[in-house]
Amino acid sequence: MISDLEARQARDPDVHGARLFGLVYPSGRPDLEALIEDVNRRYLFGNALNPFKFVELAGMEREVIDAVGSLVHLAGGDAGGGGAMTGGGTESILMSMLVQRERARARGVARPQIVAPVSAHPAYAKAAHYFDMDLVQIPLDAQYRADVDAVGDAINEQTAVVIASAFNYPYGIMDPVTDIAALAADHGIGCHVDACIGGFMLPFLERIGQAVPPWDFRVRGVTEMSADVHKYGYTPKGASLVLHRDADWFGHQVFLYDQWPSGTYGSPAMAGARPAAPIAVAWAVVNYLGEDGFCEIVRGLRDTFTKLRAGIESIDGLRIVGDPVGPVLSFEGDGGVDAYAVGDKMDDKGWHLNRNKTPRSLHLMVSPAHAQRADDLLADLADSVAHHGDARDTAARYS
């Protein structure tokens, strides 16, 4: 059986090989991975469903929420604020959008709208589909950021929430959070900052001295945020956070039911039974690394990203899309070079670069473990551009 499993696993991409981007986030830190495996094993069969039974586990979840809340300047405690851990960024976004819908309905809106840039994650479209809302898509400006004027034009009586990504998945670019959140505040509606990728990156980029435009709860008008631990928090899949500036808004996402023979049932997010391991692992990683540990990893990651970005810019025939804040970027073909044809050559060389549809480009989500592969990647890219041929027109697809 195990040999069969090994054979099957070997046919899928190697998650430790650092030739895969975006789906896994290898830390390149054996000590951290050993800790994660140990904690994961200890909590593998747990259940986070009942916080009255597993009081310590619930306390660990609270501590993770508080730690991340303080990183992104959410005023906790008596000052308000609230949040929950979820199974992933999509669930965090769904919970926030449910709250936005409830708030809009409370003021009489029959079919609330989500106003989001086209670059926003599909989870917002999913939320609209699940929760009987409408998604209103906003075009991007010349720098591939949400067009603020178009956001202003789109807001109407039906608008429940406006979305800004910090930063977005397709290009690794920050939307103008301050301007978008100000529009939301002026209209008394929600503003969700999608920091699913940026949440465990931007606070540390700031701390190591990189200029980062304002994006978190320090910005007036930001009401919600999603931040994934299972991306640049390096934990296995199943850990994300949804944060609310206002404890009352958080209350709207909690489901309580008292009409059951087995007593009152409550849950803060979509899941019923919830795996304990992602919570315990998130707690362990946050405490083991601390801010200094994260900063150390982010310093190395920034160096790798800077090297890759400069290397790509120096290849004749490739051009970076917009001005990514890092460590995610996309690049298109220039002067007759077709990015997809380059991507096909890279596939043949054993890399797994994702493709963007607009603009026709390749996508790189750099993880710490890619440091060891940066030179190979650039050499293979240069060679692929030089011998690119015709594209096989591999579809741009994420899942």
Ligand X SMILES: *Cc1c(COP(=O)(O)O)cnc(C)c1O
What residues line the site for ligand X (CB under 6 A)? 88-90, 121, 123, 165, 168-169, 194, 196-197, 228, 240
**C-beta of 147 vs 175, nearer to ligand X:** 175
Closest residue to ligand X, judged by C-beta, is 89
Q: Could you identify the residue written with the tokens 């586990």?
A: 57
Instruction: Compute the least distance from the CB of residue 394 to ligand X, in Å.
Output: 21
Min separation Cβ 121 and ligand X, Å: 3
Q: CB of 376: closest distance to ligand X in angstroms?
A: 25
CB of 282 or CB of 382, closer to ligand X = 282
Question: Side chain identity at 317, as an amino acid letter?
Answer: G
Q: How many CB atoms lie within 10 A of CB 76?
A: 16
Q: What is the distance in angstroms between the CA of the first residue and the CA of the last residue of the chain?
A: 28
- Among the listed residues 145, 122, 171, the one whose alpha carbon sits nearest the alpha carbon of residue 328: 171
Rounded Cα distance between 181 and 243, Å, is 16
As a whole number of angstroms, the longest Cα–Cα distance in the chain is 70
Shortest distance in whole angstroms from residue 236 CB to ligand X: 12
- Give 64 or 318: the residue with its C-beta nearer to ligand X: 64
CA quadruple 129, 130, 131, 132: dihedral sign: positive
394: left (phi over 0), alpha (psi -120 to 50) or beta: beta
Tokens standing for residue 233: 């928090």
Amino acid code (one letter) for 233: G
Other CB atoms within 10 Å distance of the CB of residue 303: 12
Query: Smallest distance from the beta carbon of 343 to ligand X, in angstroms?
Result: 20
Residue number, 233 or 317, with CB nearest to ligand X: 233
* Nearer CB in complex with ligand X: 29/231: 231
Query: Shortest approach of ligand X to residue 323 CB, angstroms?
Result: 17
Closest contact distance (angstroms) between CB of 185 and ligand X is 23
Strands of 354-356's sheet in order across: 318-320, 328-333, 361-365, 354-356
Strands (E), the chain: 82-86, 113-117, 134-138, 159-165, 190-194, 224-228, 240-244, 255-257, 265-267, 318-320, 328-333, 354-356, 361-365
CA 302/CA 20 separation, integer angstroms: 18
Nearer to ligand X among residue 196 and residue 362 (C-beta):
196
Decide whether 138 or 342 has the Cβ nearer to ligand X. Answer: 138
**Smaller CB distance to ligand X: residue 257 or 398?**
398
| DSSP-assigned letter for residue 86 | E
CB of 13 to ligand X, least distance (A): 17
Nearer to ligand X, 151 or 164 (CB): 164
* Spatial contact of 101 and 122, defined as CB atoms under 8 Å apart: no
- Sheet strand arrangement including 82-86: 82-86, 240-244, 224-228, 190-194, 159-165, 113-117, 134-138
CB of 7 to ligand X, least distance (A): 28
Say which amino acid occupies 62.
R
Give whichever of 32 and 166 is closer to ligand X, judged by the CB atom. 166
Write down the least CB distance from residue 61 to ligand X, Å.
17
